[in-house]
């Protein structure tokens, strides 16, 4: 049963929720919507986001339909995992909502940790080279790294801001769990 929970958690929580998280994040970080990966995220999430958009108008720059779609997918993933026995202690609606929102927060922290790690690796392997993935990672990671870069300048040409951000993200992850 643990293997089934792992597979379902990976498919729903890590992959599906992350795609909807990207749908929320990409416009916020002003990522290029013509990027192939951005287009893939938009196409994968449109079946849920577009019907919600008819009901929920955006508030300023915030796409409320994408946020609601992300929450719907997160609650559905948590419900499936609960039915499989991943959360046997959850027995009331308040605990269910708390577990779902906590899982979403942990997914966001893990997403940014892995995104920054990939961003670092790409900067070492192919510095200055263009690829759709590198452009998207730069759009996602730069807003998080920029404030730290202002505080901690490069030392001997080595940018340590990503290291400090990852340490902070992991500390938050440990604190929350």
Total tally of structural domains belonging to the chain:
1
Boundaries of domain holding 162? 2-176
State the average pLDDT over residues 99-123.
94
* pLDDT of amino acid 104: 96
Angle at 115 (CA atoms; ends 87, 33), nearest 5 degrees: 105
d(CA 108, CA 30): 18
Tokens of 76: 């559905």
| Residue 15 DSSP label | I
Q: Does residue 67 surpass a pLDDT of 80? A: yes
pLDDT in tens, 121-164: 988 887 777 888 889 999 999 999 999 999 988 888 788 899 99
* Mean pLDDT of the chain, nearest integer: 92
pLDDT tens sequence across 73-90 = 999 999 999 989 888 888
pLDDT of 131 reads: 84
Residue tagged 């027995």 (tokens): 91
């Amino acid at each position: 049963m643990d293997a089934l929970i792992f597979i379902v958690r990976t498919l729903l929580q890590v992959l599906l929720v992350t795609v909807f998280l990207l749908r929320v994040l990409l416009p916020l970080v002003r990522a290029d919507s013509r990027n192939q990966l951005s287009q893939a995220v938009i196409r994968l999430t449109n079946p849920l986001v577009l019907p919600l958009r008819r009901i929920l108008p955006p508030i300023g720059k915030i796409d409320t339909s994408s946020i609601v779609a992300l929450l719907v997918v997160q609650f559905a993933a948590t419900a499936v995992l609960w039915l499989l026995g991943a959360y046997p202690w959850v027995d009331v609606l308040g605990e269910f909502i708390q577990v779902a929102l906590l899982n979403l927060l942990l997914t966001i922290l893990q997403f940014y940790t892995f995104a920054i790690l990939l961003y670092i690796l790409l900067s070492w392997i192919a510095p200055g080279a263009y690829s759709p993935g590198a452009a998207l990672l730069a759009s996602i990671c730069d807003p998080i790294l920029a404030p730290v870069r202002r505080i901690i300048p490069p030392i001997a040409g080595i940018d340590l801001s990503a290291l400090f951000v990852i340490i902070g993200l992991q500390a938050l992850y440990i604190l929350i769990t």
